[in-house]
Chains A and B, each alone.
Chain A
Amino acid sequence: DIVMTQGALPNPVPSGESASITCQSSKSLLHSSGKTYLNWYLQRPGQSPQLLIYWMSTRASGVSDRFSGSGSGTDFTLKISSVEAEDVGVYYCQQFLEYPRTFGAGTKLELK
């Protein structure tokens, strides 16, 4: 199985500052199609996860442009510019290259 490893944030993050969350995969997620099968989700407290980014850097419909995804085949970053109160929660990366679809352990963002 592909192992997804997420980094921690130096919480709490001051409101208005930027935050970067890292994720590393044990195998390259670059597909033969040229797309990288890495997704990001945010799970706000008490809610189900919501899709933020797919194919490593494509924002999902309705997602603020304060969120951006980047990376290579195995190392990825989700950047949140100007953190707001609604950004609080746990962020998960997920690989979609192979079964089983595996998630990282999550990175918690707290606001100062």
Chain B
Amino acid sequence: QVQLRESGPGLVQPSETLSLTCTVSGFSLTSYGVNWVRQPPGKCLEWMGVIWGEGNTAYNSLLKSRLSISRDTSKSQVFLKMNSLQTEDTAIYFCARDNYGSHFDYWGQGVMVTVSS
């Protein structure tokens, strides 16, 4: 069955770089896109970016200067890297499968990231 699982550090220092991994199973990264979405505590969902099956990417313009999404298809992993973290980046980070450009049909359980010194 389709599964996505996020992993990464729970605590990041301000101004440092966040690195998260989304490990997928039950589908191929060359056939489906994977998105990153985040949710600050008690707030709504913010789309961050996507890496498509062909390997190309699209980013939220508000984050584009700090954000990079890549993948390793042999390991079924998608990576998020975001630099210059601030306290406002404290959030739950989700990865979600993109069903051919129409909707997110499967989501990971999310990973909580706190930006604090």
Contact = CB atoms under 8 A, between A and B. Distances in A.
Interface centre among A37, A51, A101, A104 (most CB of B within 10 A): A101
The majority secondary structure among interface residues of chain A is loop
Interface string A25-45: 000000000010101010000
Contacts of A106: 44-45
The majority secondary structure among interface residues of chain B is loop
Contacts of A105: 44
A51 B44 contact: no
27 contacts: A35-B102, A37-B102, A39-B103, A47-B109, A48-B94, A48-B108, A48-B109, A49-B96, A49-B104, A50-B107, A51-B103, A51-B104, A51-B105, A54-B99, A55-B102, A55-B103, A94-B45, A94-B103, A96-B102, A99-B58, A100-B60, A100-B61, A100-B62, A101-B47, A103-B46, A103-B47, A106-B44
Interface of B: 35, 44-47, 58, 60-62, 94, 96, 99, 101-105, 107-110
